Amino acid sequence: MNKEQEQIAEKIIIKLKEQSGSSFSKFDDLFPEEKRFKIKHIVFGALKERGLIKGFPADAYGLTEKGWEFKSFDSLRRKKIFKKLKKNMRM
């Protein structure tokens, strides 16, 4: 995902947290109209792939445990770098 898509994904996670972890919303208001379908597919696919949300029939979404713990993509990147450093230090 690019930066714009990451920002949209972070907004979706925030909205889901505000709605007690699940929603029947399509979140269309968060996507640029001219590329809505393509970006929506990328963003929701990435969130599901990372295990942050789960999808239900009829455009309903819910947060997973990882989704509730999610802060930002920058935070995830920092965790990955820290784990690599920690692993390399053990060798």
Range of the domain at 67: 3-90
* Rounded Cα–Cα distance for residues 4 and 65 (Å): 24
Q: Rounded to whole angstroms, what are the CA distances from 57 to 1, 7, 21, 25?
A: 24, 25, 16, 12
- Mark the ranges of the chain whose per-residue pLDDT is less than 50: none
Residue 9: closest CA among 58, 17, 81: 17
pLDDT at 86: 77
Per-residue pLDDT, 46: 93
Per-residue confidence (pLDDT) for residue 42, from 0 to 100: 92
Domain containing 79 — which CATH number? 1.10.10
The tally of domains found in the chain comes to 1
pLDDT at 84: 82
Tokens encoding 16: 């889901």
Q: What is the pLDDT of residue 91?
A: 62
Say which residues have a Cβ less than 8 Å from residue 11's Cβ, sequence separation at least 6. 30
